[in-house]
Amino acid sequence: MTKALSGLALLALTAGMTSSAFAAGSAFAVPHQLIDVGGRKMNIYCSGQGATTVIFDSPSGDAGWGWHRVQPEVAKHTRACVFDRAGLGFSDPAKRPNTSENVAEDLHKLLAGAGVKPPYVLVGNSLGGANVQVYAYRYPEEVKGLVLVEPEHEDETSRLDKASKGMIKKVYAMVAEQNKYCLAAATQGIKPGSEEQMNCVGDPLQVFGPALGAVALKTMITPAYWRANVDEWNAINVSDEQLRKRRRPFGDLPLVVLTRGVSPYAQPGKPQSALNKATEDENFAIQKEIAALSTRGKQRVVPGAQHVIQADKPEAVVQAVLEVLKQVK
């Protein structure tokens, strides 16, 4: 499910990487614009040209570089930007957690400070999907389209936990304990090649290539990164409540919702269990409801993709973004 998997997003990025993808990732290995958002700085990276700017927000615990296989392709058609939430990537930490309302406020200041003017098409995966929905509700005059990739929904925890007969909350508890373990390990110092590195970070060099991988590894073994990750994860229920309070239809806003075609909980090589099917059916239903919030909303299942669709099938995200861009007035 979205929250559990979003904290492990990096580990899903290993499949299908090519030398060209590694080369594209090197552009994300350095900070670009560091903008003051009120006593601290946030990083934003934009490329391409166009009347409408596409803004990407990442899953929980992931920096903007998680879109390195999508942003360059979109930038061939229009202006496209990724950013790092507070405490992630190249952005300074904040004294408050990255709740959806806080992220929307930070992003609004960041875009203004960087001179990135609306209109925007917002793209978000998982928790990032909740964040961009809140942004669209807060600043509707700026947002002309949404692409929601396995997006967070305010009621998904209770609904999926019911469908899975309690499995989801157990998984979330495991992720919370893993985050605590990794924060403690980072505080003591995670050594390269250690068991702690493999348990908490994996091998970013294999995922991103030498340039971006080295930077990601250096960042993701720090206490600052894990503190931001833990705080963000622990505040997801707050983000759910913030989204719930703002929930209303999106009118005729162009909207595409991308839903995974592969269950992250299915056992490879074995028939799908009734419990797994119930969980996946509920996940599909939740995201179908989000798509129905717009009269121009569409839901699309992406075959072969798990939760982090931009890693498994980046071309599907690019296609959805270009589809929404064509509908922008």
Structure tokens at 105: 């406020």
- pLDDT tens readout for residues 228-260: 999 999 999 999 999 999 999 999 999 999 999
- pLDDT tens readout for residues 214-227: 999 999 999 999 99
pLDDT of residue 1: 39
Task: Give which of 87, 80, 83, 74 is closest to 104, Cα–Cα.
Answer: 83
pLDDT of residue 18: 47
- pLDDT tens readout for residues 203-216: 999 889 999 999 99
- pLDDT tens readout for residues 111-131: 999 999 999 999 999 999 999
217: CATH: 3.40.50.1820
- pLDDT tens readout for residues 39-86: 999 999 999 999 999 999 999 999 999 999 999 999 999 999 999 999
Domain count, the chain: 1
CA 11 to chain centre: 13
pLDDT of residue 21: 55
pLDDT at 2 over 80: no
Q: How far apart are CA 242 and CA 322, in angstroms?
A: 29
pLDDT of residue 17: 44
- pLDDT tens readout for residues 126-148: 999 999 999 999 999 999 999 99
Contact present, 2 and 127 (Cβ < 8 Å) = yes
Which pTM was predicted?
0.93
Cis peptide bond prior to 119, omega within 30° of 0? yes
Band of pLDDT at residue 192, cut at 50, 70 and 90: confident
pLDDT at 311 over 50: yes
pLDDT of residue 6: 39
CA separation, residue 321 to residues 39, 75, 77, 120 (Å):
33, 11, 10, 11
Tell whether the torsion through CA atoms of 311, 134, 253 and 145 is positive or negative: negative
Domain that holds residue 258: 2-327
Q: Cβ–Cβ contacts within 10 Å for residue 304, how many?
A: 13
User: Of all residues in the chain, what percent are helix, strand and coil, respectively (each to 5)?
Assistant: 50, 15, 35
Q: Cβ–Cβ contacts within 10 Å for residue 49, how many?
A: 11
